[in-house]
Amino acid sequence: MNKFPHRSWIEVDFGRLEGNVRAIKATLPEGVKYISVVKADAYGHCMPQALMRFLRGGADIFAVANLYEASRVREIVSDKPVIVLSPILRQERPLVFEYGATAAVSSYNEAKAFSELARERGKVLGVHVKIDTGMGRVGIWHETANEVVRQIKKLENIKITGIFTHLSSADVDRDYTMRQVGIFKDIVEKNAEPGMLIHLHNSAALRYVPVEPPFNAVRMGLIQYGINPYDDGGGFESMNLKPVLSFKSRIIAIAESEGRRLACVCAGYGDGVPSGFTPEACVLVGGKRCPIVGNVSLDECTICIDAAPQARVGDEVVFIGEQQGAEISLSDYSRWTRRIPWETMVAIPRRVDRILK
């Protein structure tokens, strides 16, 4: 039992997490593999505990950003593939074998280096090849992809088990995204072989890119955590996604100033509350919306509690979540802090307690 009461904390509702995965899976055609993206500590939702729920919800494969994250997944899950999405450093390459991870390969030279390491170990290493269809960051540039993939296929100790691409702006630019989809399909048509995983969808792409052949897997991040990438609903309403993360704090002092009751809340930018709120920003106290006023400091921020006259020192303050029938969504909070929802989720530091439900 912790003798320190919670001052600022997040609550993670794992029942909802599992429900979201089930709801997303229910919309996918039979046989499509569900790749659960659990990078960055499961988007700040406590990866080790979240993994169990993703498994129960039906995740087939996990995706992480790097080998440290892959090693953490391996402590819990031994029998599912773990794809490392970001490029792997030369000195990290042996860890791919140690943790039985699936590397995302972005060049012939990288594939060749892996092939040599596999040969030394008497193995054939399965890799996914990443195609750059317009993100312009990592992957085999699409114009050279047919030739490079052909060369990789000739490497004796490498087996291509998947081909994928990442969409650069699925949530904001549909035309550009559809061009990426077309380019990718063309490459898949020329290079895919039976048994390969072909994947492109992130959360936002589910809105308008049909999950149909050649695609046989999807990579789900944001929506598993119950957040819709679209403010207008975007057709995701029917999934009935439930937000998983709440962010709460407490009033630690109350003062009067120029006829207003101001409360000091014990969460500042040291707790992930950013210093630049828009004027609409508010929190919930006693189920009432109370505006954030003045500057945010490292340990505290100030709210006006005129709307909640019953408020007392020690009362709960909700930045994200539900209280007495009222709600502030993670998307609202993100808009008020000029962040995207992905940033909000990963920006709450360890100083803030974790309550896992």
| Region near ligand PLP per CB under 6 A, out of 14-22, 134-142, 199-207, 328-336 | 199-207
Considering the rule CB under 6 A, would residue 203 count as an interface residue with ligand PLP?
Answer: yes
Interface residue with ligand PLP, options 44, 162, 221, 272 (CB under 6 A): 221
Q: Give the span between the Cα atoms of 267 and 217, in whole angstroms.
A: 40
Contacts of 54 (CB under 8 A, 6+ apart): 17, 18, 21, 36, 38, 62, 224
What minimum distance in Å lies between the beta carbon of 42 and ligand PLP?
11
One symbol per residue from 78 to 97: x for binding ligand PLP (CB under 6 A), - otherwise; what is it? -------x------------
Residue sitting closest to ligand PLP (CB): 221
CA nearest to 268, candidates 260, 259, 277, 279: 277
Torsion angles phi and psi, residue 16, rounded to 5 = -65, -40
Nearer to ligand PLP, 201 or 248 (CB): 201
| Region near ligand PLP per CB under 6 A, out of 153-161, 184-192, 216-224, 274-282 | 216-224
Considering the rule CB under 6 A, would residue 341 count as an interface residue with ligand PLP?
Answer: no
| Region near ligand PLP per CB under 6 A, out of 53-61, 134-142, 218-226, 330-338 | 218-226
Helices (H), the chain: 14-26, 39-44, 47-57, 67-74, 93-98, 108-120, 142-153, 174-191, 330-336, 341-346
Tokens 């904001």 correspond to 172
Considering the rule CB under 6 A, would residue 202 count as an interface residue with ligand PLP?
Answer: yes
Q: How many residues bind ligand PLP (CB under 6 A)?
A: 11
Q: Give the span between the Cα atoms of 184 and 78, in whole angstroms.
A: 31
What minimum distance in Å lies between the beta carbon of 353 and ligand PLP?
25
DSSP designation for 80: S
What minimum distance in Å lies between the beta carbon of 30 and ligand PLP?
21
Q: Please name the amino acid found at residue 209.
A: V
Nearer to ligand PLP, 40 or 307 (CB): 40
Q: Give the span between the Cα atoms of 263 and 250, in whole angstroms.
A: 10
Q: Which of residues 122-181 bind ligand PLP (CB under 6 A)?
A: 166
DSSP 160-186: EEEEEE--S-TTT-HHHHHHHHHHHHH
Nearer to ligand PLP, 130 or 248 (CB): 130
| Region near ligand PLP per CB under 6 A, out of 105-113, 197-205, 266-274, 324-332 | 197-205
| Region near ligand PLP per CB under 6 A, out of 121-129, 215-223, 302-310, 323-331 | 215-223
Tokens of 93: 């390459």
DSSP designation for 4: S
Q: Which of residues 21-50 bind ligand PLP (CB under 6 A)?
A: 37, 39
- Which residues bind to ligand PLP, rule: CB under 6 A? 37, 39, 85, 166, 202-204, 219-222
